[in-house]
Structure 1
Amino acid sequence: MRTIKLGTSTLEVPVIAVGCMRIKSLSKPDAERFVQTALEQGANFFDHADIYGAGTCEEIFADAIQMNDAVREKIILQSKCGIRKGMFDFSKEHILESVDGILKRLRTDYLDVLLLHRPDALVEPEEVAEAFDLLESSGKVRHFGVSNQNPMQIQLLQKYVKQPLVANQLQLSITNSTMITSGMNVNMENAAAVNRDGSVLDFCRLNDITIQPWSPFQYGFFEGVFLGSDKFPELNQKIDEIAAKYEVSSTTIAIAWLLRHPARMQPVTGTMNLERITDCIKASEVHLTRQEWYEIYRSAGNVLP
């Protein structure tokens, strides 16, 4: 599979990250098949979070991949922390405790990447910096990043955190593309999208922070999947038309649309279906034309200024 550098690091990662949020829904044999199917196709970057399945998803994954030292050398593990019941918590104590729990559940000595999951209004960046220093010096975490953060929040952290923040996981899909739309509606009186994220797309590009789009098939927050939905007839017609041209599935084209953006993104899949994960991985081989990218964008109801 095609690879990219993750942020400013030297870590070479596949352009598709395999999200494990739903692995709890699989039986043990199915989980094993899912993980092996991904690995066989070069998708060895696995995304986790300590809240997925209340931590059980990490345990299920470790069982499914039959974690040992030899296996660990062949995969890249990313997990997230900072969400607790009814609150967010970026305190030093919670970050350190969370990572220890993650490592225990994944049966590994280290994470390749740790992300702070959602912005904590009470964040004290000096504490985050202390936690990151301890995690790096102990070898428990090799690279650090954030999730769902805007430029000012990242800059505030980076003022104190000496490690480069290499990734920002953000919600982005063809139908949830306000970070793209707002950038094309500069100084427009009736802009199709208000800039609510501080131009995070351009900020990440300027600072070599890899954007990891989550829920690449969702519309709304978690309202449903746009592929095959009667709410998006024009979009599905266009995607199907382009999929036929490339002799791939609509799933492949939806991911290829994200990969076509020059920000060099790394979409995070969420499917547990063997056929769909294979179709997602195939997107790394499809390069849409500029015209096709815009046709898909407009067919989702986006209006050019």
Structure 2
Amino acid sequence: MTNANGRGRLIYGCMGLGGPWDGTSYGAAEIDQAAAVIEAAQGIGIELFDHADIYRSGKSEAVFGEVLARSQGLREKIQLQSKCGIRLGERGLDTHYDLSREAILERVNQSLKRLQTDYLDVLLLHRPDPLMDPREVADAVGQLMAEGKVRQVGVSNMSGAQIAFLQDELQAPIVANQLEMSLLRRDWLESTVLVNHAENLEYSFPHGTVELCTTKGIELQAYGSLAQGRYTGATPEGLSAAESATAAMLERLAGEKDTTPEAVLLGWLMKHPAKISPVVGTTNPARIGACADAASVSATMSRAEWYGLWVAARGSNIP
């Protein structure tokens, strides 16, 4: 799943496409926005586009599908990934999870219809479902693969133990795990150095998950990788002292490397030996373009620079 150069790759996250989250319909403006975003993402070498059946109540997939329908040859130039497993506003519940066989088959077929495509390159199981029967999941995934509707399978928001539990039944290898990972949300990193340290109680990330994904060749896809712009100017007010210091350091490093703070921020993630693949979710084409140098920045970032950003972001030294 990662690039031939042994590093992660940028992924575009489509959650921002399609208009409001409510039940209102989309129109030409939302389709044009999707087209502009796809063009900007392709312009910096992004090939994988990440969806979920719930994004914007299905409209993220629908507007993307409209662009595919009017752009001859585009589908063959990109990879599509979508997720299922979360139900919103159904059966008297605001949210519940459903990885039953019937739900997986139903939701994937609905996604394919909205996306106006015959197959997903990757299907991710969106969140752990405590009522999940791994044999049911394996049966559904196996059927979808046999029908040519899904080519690979992965997970999202799962621990290493949950991945191993599911993989025991799946015939196909789990190829990706999508987690919130950034310089702002560092639970995945802090947990690796705070073993036998009182500060470890502040972090709930399941230890061993990153290690399992790395050893099994499971791509770690990092959503929220740009930290909602807190370090790169999108939210300049209300920053903590640590966030302000981190933003200043990113700006300085960007100047020294003749690039952008966004590229340095993502390059920091990609420097990690787990070969993390950042998911970029901004709908601003210029900001998408600002991410272009991330892989090259990761290749040249020094160990001191990497640790310096981490220490600045946590606001205190490491143990």
1:13, 1:81 → 2: CA distance? 27
From the superposition, tell whether residues 143 and 68 of structure 1 become closer, same or farther in structure 2 (CA, over 3 Å).
farther
| Cross-structure match for 1:211 | 220
Contact 1:35 1:65 in 2 (8 A): no
How well do the aligned residues superpose, as a CA RMSD in angstroms? 2.2
Aligned letter for 1:227?
T
1:253, 1:271 → 2: CA distance? 16
Aligned letter for 1:44?
E
| Cross-structure match for 2:77 | 74
Q: Any residues of structure 2 matched to 1:34-113 within 5 Å, and which?
A: 34-66=37-69, 70-85=73-88, 86-113=95-122
Q: Which runs of 5+ in 1 are unaligned?
A: 6-11
* Corresponding residue SS for 1:4: coil
1:296 partnered with 2:290: no
2:201, 2:263 → 1: CA distance? 27
1:60, 1:190 → 2: CA distance? 45
| Cross-structure match for 2:209 | 200
From the superposition, tell whether residues 173 and 150 of structure 1 become closer, same or farther in structure 2 (CA, over 3 Å).
same
More off after superposition, 12-21 vs 128-137:
12-21
Contact 2:191 2:207 in 1 (8 A): no
For residue 199 of structure 1, report the CA deviation from its aligned partner.
2.0
Contact 1:215 1:269 in 2 (8 A): yes
From the superposition, tell whether residues 252 and 204 of structure 1 become closer, same or farther in structure 2 (CA, over 3 Å).
same
Which whole-Å deviations, capped at 9, do the CAs of 1:114-155 have from their partners, x for residues lacking one? 000011111111100000110111110000000000011111
Q: Any residues of structure 2 matched to 1:232-243 within 5 Å, and which?
A: 232-243=243-254
For residue 68 of structure 1, report the CA deviation from its aligned partner.
6.2
Contact 2:160 2:210 in 1 (8 A): no
Aligned letter for 1:118?
R
1:225 partnered with 2:239: no
1:249 partnered with 2:252: no
2:130, 2:45 → 1: CA distance? 38
1:274 partnered with 2:277: no
TM-score (norm 1): 0.90
Contact 1:14 1:45 in 2 (8 A): no
Aligned letter for 1:290?
R
For residue 211 of structure 1, report the CA deviation from its aligned partner.
0.3
| Cross-structure match for 2:92 | none
Aligned letter for 1:106?
L
From the superposition, tell whether residues 13 and 139 of structure 1 become closer, same or farther in structure 2 (CA, over 3 Å).
farther
For residue 189 of structure 1, report the CA deviation from its aligned partner.
3.9
From the superposition, tell whether residues 173 and 190 of structure 1 become closer, same or farther in structure 2 (CA, over 3 Å).
closer
In structure 2, which of residues 7, 10, 18 is the aligned counterpart of residue 16 of structure 1?
10
Aligned letter for 1:82?
G
2:230, 2:268 → 1: CA distance? 16
Which whole-Å deviations, capped at 9, do the CAs of 1:188-240 have from their partners, x for residues lacking one? 24447545313211111121111000011237xxxx73433422111111111
TM-score (norm 2): 0.86
Aligned letter for 2:144?
L
From the superposition, tell whether residues 94 and 167 of structure 1 become closer, same or farther in structure 2 (CA, over 3 Å).
same
* Corresponding residue SS for 2:291: helix
| Cross-structure match for 1:31 | 34
From the superposition, tell whether residues 192 and 285 of structure 1 become closer, same or farther in structure 2 (CA, over 3 Å).
farther
Q: Any residues of structure 2 matched to 1:117-136 within 5 Å, and which?
A: 117-136=126-145
Which whole-Å deviations, capped at 9, do the CAs of 1:129-184 have from their partners, x for residues lacking one? 00011011111000000000001111110111111000000001101111111111
* Corresponding residue SS for 1:281: coil
Contact 2:9 2:278 in 1 (8 A): yes
Q: Which runs of 5+ in 2 are unaligned?
A: 20-28, 89-94
1:67, 1:96 → 2: CA distance? 27
For residue 69 of structure 1, report the CA deviation from its aligned partner.
6.5
From the superposition, tell whether residues 69 and 94 of structure 1 become closer, same or farther in structure 2 (CA, over 3 Å).
farther
More off after superposition, 230-239 vs 279-288:
279-288
Aligned letter for 1:29?
D
- The number of equivalent residue pairs is 294
| Cross-structure match for 1:283 | 294
For residue 273 of structure 1, report the CA deviation from its aligned partner.
0.4
2:16, 2:199 → 1: CA distance? 39
| Cross-structure match for 1:151 | 160
Aligned letter for 1:225?
R
